[in-house]
Structure 1
Amino acid sequence: MAYISTTFPSNQWIIDSHLIQERASFPAISTQNGDILVCGGYIEYERYLETDSSCEIYSSSNREWRTVTDLNVGRIGHTLTLLPNGRSILTVGTMDNIDGCTAEIYDIQTDKWAFVPNIMNILRAKHTATLLRNDQVLIVGGSIAFTGISSCSVQLYIASSNTFITTGSLNTCRYDHTTILLSDGLSVLVIGGRHSIHDINGPPHISMPTEIYINGFWSYIVGDMISKRSHFAAVLLSDGNVLVAGGIDSSKNATSTVEIYNSTTETFSLVQPMACARSHFTLTRLPSGQVLAVGGKSSTTNNCLRFSELYDPNKNQWKSDRLLNNIRWGHNAILLNHSVLIIGGSAREQNGLIRACERYDL
């Protein structure tokens, strides 16, 4: 078995420019020129969390945030997708009862948001949106606002006509799930998720079977995850397989277990676990092919979560890496040209929102 390094290094992440607005549970996306757009999410107002409509952009050239035009409606549980033309960004859904059917397009050059005239067929929040190689955006599942019920509905956004069309439904309805675009650019793996908000106090979402989307249809894979989990992180590896790590296990505890989905055999196999048990964290594949795990919550050892971890797929080895300045969860991690930027999130202890951003230089 590969060796886990538990010698914690002393070097820290680099403190970067802070967000203008502290926020959590928001999407972030890298634009064609390497800038980063964040929109919506939760903000704190008079000690209460509120849905936000504000947006800001991080400039990769001067490492500063600036405000841009607000969304037309406040959004939480929404997605951001950079469209094929490189100048437009699609945002879809929210937990609002009315606006959950809506989508907007952001024009980067004019700094304007406009509603997509053709609304979606259901209210959606906590769905996923994946840009396919054919330039269509696959929008999968989601929670039907205010019902707490998950959806099996899947739609495609067609950028050329600025419309949504319906495609094959999921076999198992879900929201709060993870989707990974596989190497062919057209097949999509969907992992985990939740049936209903009413199961939030029950066992975690351990019964959700993994499905794969191919040519408009969904099918269950040959062999499902070995260690059932929720609130995990997943990333596509350089060899076309998928790394799934951490999360909450069936006993409601954070786990350090890790497994790899083999895209050829459609089966999972356990690999070396992380040094830290963590959920609600991020995984980022670096240009080297290594994978960076950052932040999280629910670990029994707070000190452990201050350290990022690096996974080397060739050696099947995790090693503890640089020290975070802020322990956080519900943040975003965006790969820039020569660094990874960690954005916002919630503080580890008091669950307060934070503006702080920090950088991991490669």
Structure 2
Amino acid sequence: MKILALTLLFALVLISVSCGGGGDSNEASTGSETDVSSDENRFDPSAGTEKEVAATTGTSAPVGDMGEQRAWFPAVVLDDGRVLVAGGKSPKWAAGAADTAEVYNPNSNVWEWTEAMTDARFQNAMAKLPDGRVIVAGGRSIENRAIDTAEIWDPETGLWTPTLPMNQAHETMPMVSLGDGRVMVIGGADDTYAPVTTVEVYDPATNGWVEIDPMSEKRIWHTATLLSDGRILVTGGGKPDGPWIKTAEIFDPESGLWSSAGEMSVSRAQHTATLLKDGRVLVVGGRGKRMTAEIYDPSNNTWGSKSDLNIPRAEHIAELLPDGRVIVAGGTGSRDNLEIYDPATTIWAIVGDMLMGRYRFNSALLNDGRILIIGGQALDGILAATEAFTLDIGEEIEATILSIDESAAAEATPIPTATPMPTPTPDVLTTVDLEFKPTVDHDGSSNFHVATEIPVRMGLTQKMNSPTGINGIIVQFTELIEDNRATGGVATVRLELFTPAGPLGGAEMSLESGQTKPSYKKFGKYSLGLLSIEPDPVTTAEDAKVTVVVFLSSLLR
């Protein structure tokens, strides 16, 4: 019997050794990507052994797989309840960047392809516009570097249309929809893999981007949360291998000012931040095997209510439930369970398991209350698998707007370089002195290309591409609206803007009687200059000619 007992004990030891510490896939790490072979990416079964389990738990069930394996991708719930995903890292594409997009239908539990994006991208950002369209921006391209492009998907047509490019390339950054219809991209890394402080705002009225005042710190893998009063809270950040950032800051769209939001109890990156129903913000987990959560109160600009999760989490997901609780799932090391935070008790409790552990994935709260868990990274590779977690949810709680304690808000430290938020129309400048190269006449061809800073004289319906190549902007003279310069008025023309992939929109530009300097309009990275409208005055529209030039907006600074 002793021999049998020793044999069984030896067998159990062998089984224990063979099952522990499973590694991740052999995925190369570059730039800001996580080193998937690091200790933190290995599941630690001893972490959080004393787990709090909820009295009522939920269950997960498989739904239709995506057509594409995806990790590091965004997801948005559409107005009709469907879910759009776009891009992501996929093993079958160059540098991992996918250009595909697909839509999940919760009624049929089926994913359907929609048109592919113009640019392949992963670690990109996405947000819904007020009219139901969806904008995607930045990310890493097939060259494994950050890009400055953005495009908009129309749920009515299923088609993508590019916007004007951003002023700077961004990847691994948050995007927030502002209350006035504009969208803000905050920080991230540029095309040299360096974290940046740059903040840009997209305005649907101009289809262009305007760079506003930067954050106080360079941030990547940080969070941005739209508060109930319209301000934006930014927390933490830092490369996965550190150092991580402890500070937080707030942007006020009304004043255009950034101010300090103090410090969290610990530094965090690859964490989550969720707006609670009462207007506070719950920040959870982060690199370094963070098991803590804490709450920011925007009414008095303070941090508090620290609580402990049951297991450490980073690269996880968090969703606010209608009853005011917050559910988190997964995390680095392919965590497979879900736990819920109850603001009423400040207690975390395990509520069930996913069908498979995953991280670098995404989620969506469906209209029927299910939590859709999408793709991501597992121990054996990138997933196309999707599952839906079902849990009993209490009665919906109405969200409240916190009133701000002005004395506490006044203690926030303003960032000295802050300036007022720009208006939601392109900058129109008529007093800037710029020197351009000699003007050239349009040759009448349908494919006329010139470098930037070269003015082109062209007639009605003619178009020019500048700068040369697929990244250029196409400008077409489409209409003479008026010419009242003979009586001391203005002459106004309409110019349509395109990229090789599709239309960008129009711009009306004017010259006043006697104006000797050009008029300029800034559209994100590039600006357009109107140098002349000939003859002066124009008597017949068919005889009108305009001289226009495309140049980098940085020349206007």
Output one character per residue of 1:170-194: Cα deviation in whole Å (capped at 9) or x when no partner: 121112211111112x200111112
SS of equivalent to 2:251 = strand
Please say if residues 290 and 314 of structure 2, whose CA atoms lie closer than 8 Å, have aligned partners that are also in contact: no
Q: Distance in 1 between matches of 2:125 and 2:247?
A: 21
> What pairs with 1:29-48 in structure 2 (closer than 5 Å)?
29-45=127-143
In structure 2, the CA distance between the partners of 1:61 and 1:173, relative to structure 1 (3 Å rule), is same
1:77 positional shift: 2.2
> Paired residue for 1:143?
238
Output one character per residue of 1:222-245: Cα deviation in whole Å (capped at 9) or x when no partner: x41112222211111111101111
> Paired residue for 2:277?
183
Matched, 1:158 2:252: yes
Give 1 or 2 for the bigger CA radius of gyration. 2
> Paired residue for 1:235?
319
Matched, 1:283 2:377: no
Matched, 1:77 2:162: no
| TM-score (norm: length of structure 2) | 0.49
Amino acid at match of 2:353: P
Q: Distance in 1 between matches of 2:188 and 2:381?
A: 34
> Paired residue for 1:21?
119
194, 206, 225: which one pairs with 1:110? Answer: 206
Please say if residues 122 and 141 of structure 2, whose CA atoms lie closer than 8 Å, have aligned partners that are also in contact: yes
Matched, 1:265 2:350: no
> Paired residue for 1:247?
331
> Paired residue for 1:342?
none
1:256 positional shift: 1.4
Please say if residues 281 and 296 of structure 1, whose CA atoms lie closer than 8 Å, have aligned partners that are also in contact: yes
> Paired residue for 1:322?
none
1:4 positional shift: 4.8
SS of equivalent to 1:170 = strand
Q: Distance in 1 between matches of 2:260 and 2:234?
A: 10
> Paired residue for 1:331?
none
Aligned pairs, number = 292
Amino acid at match of 1:189: L
Amino acid at match of 2:255: S
197, 214, 220: which one pairs with 1:101? Answer: 197
Please say if residues 61 and 389 of structure 2, whose CA atoms lie closer than 8 Å, have aligned partners that are also in contact: no
Matched, 1:310 2:310: no
Please say if residues 276 and 299 of structure 1, whose CA atoms lie closer than 8 Å, have aligned partners that are also in contact: no
Amino acid at match of 2:325: N
1:259 positional shift: 0.8
Q: Distance in 1 between matches of 2:216 and 2:58?
A: 50
Amino acid at match of 1:157: F
1:144 positional shift: 7.5
Q: Distance in 2 between matches of 1:206 and 1:245?
A: 15
Matched, 1:225 2:309: yes
SS of equivalent to 1:283 = strand
1:307 positional shift: 3.4
> Paired residue for 2:289?
206
Q: Which runs of 5+ in 2 are unaligned?
A: 1-55, 66-108, 395-557
> Paired residue for 2:453?
none
Q: Which runs of 5+ in 1 are unaligned?
A: 195-204, 317-362
Amino acid at match of 1:226: N
Please say if residues 25 and 76 of structure 1, whose CA atoms lie closer than 8 Å, have aligned partners that are also in contact: yes
SS of equivalent to 1:190 = strand
Amino acid at match of 2:282: L
Q: Distance in 2 between matches of 1:312 and 1:114?
A: 42
Q: Distance in 2 between matches of 1:81 and 1:3?
A: 31
Output one character per residue of 1:255-291: Cα deviation in whole Å (capped at 9) or x when no partner: 2111111111111001121112222111110112221
Output one character per residue of 1:75-114: Cα deviation in whole Å (capped at 9) or x when no partner: 112221111112x111111224887122111111111211
Q: Distance in 2 between matches of 1:101 and 1:301?
A: 33
Please say if residues 239 and 269 of structure 2, whose CA atoms lie closer than 8 Å, have aligned partners that are also in contact: no
Please say if residues 62 and 386 of structure 2, whose CA atoms lie closer than 8 Å, have aligned partners that are also in contact: no
In structure 2, the CA distance between the partners of 1:73 and 1:56, relative to structure 1 (3 Å rule), is same
Amino acid at match of 2:221: K
Please say if residues 369 and 393 of structure 2, whose CA atoms lie closer than 8 Å, have aligned partners that are also in contact: no
> Paired residue for 1:53?
148
In structure 2, the CA distance between the partners of 1:99 and 1:293, relative to structure 1 (3 Å rule), is closer
Output one character per residue of 1:46-100: Cα deviation in whole Å (capped at 9) or x when no partner: xxx11111101001221111111111000112221111112x1111112248871
Structure 1 vs Structure 2 CA RMSD: 2.6
> Paired residue for 2:72?
none
In structure 2, the CA distance between the partners of 1:219 and 1:306, relative to structure 1 (3 Å rule), is same
Please say if residues 2 and 315 of structure 1, whose CA atoms lie closer than 8 Å, have aligned partners that are also in contact: no
Please say if residues 246 and 256 of structure 1, whose CA atoms lie closer than 8 Å, have aligned partners that are also in contact: yes
Mean alpha-carbon deviation: is it higher for 8-17 or for 285-294? Answer: 8-17
Q: Distance in 2 between matches of 1:271 and 1:188?
A: 22
Q: Percent identity?
A: 28
SS of equivalent to 2:268 = coil
Q: Distance in 2 between matches of 1:6 and 1:94?
A: 35
Please say if residues 290 and 313 of structure 2, whose CA atoms lie closer than 8 Å, have aligned partners that are also in contact: no
1:167 positional shift: 2.0
Output one character per residue of 1:9-68: Cα deviation in whole Å (capped at 9) or x when no partner: 7974111111111110011001111111111111012xxx11111101001221111111
Please say if residues 126 and 176 of structure 1, whose CA atoms lie closer than 8 Å, have aligned partners that are also in contact: yes
1:8 positional shift: 6.8
Matched, 1:171 2:265: yes
1:149 positional shift: 1.8
1:3 positional shift: 7.9
Please say if residues 64 and 386 of structure 2, whose CA atoms lie closer than 8 Å, have aligned partners that are also in contact: no
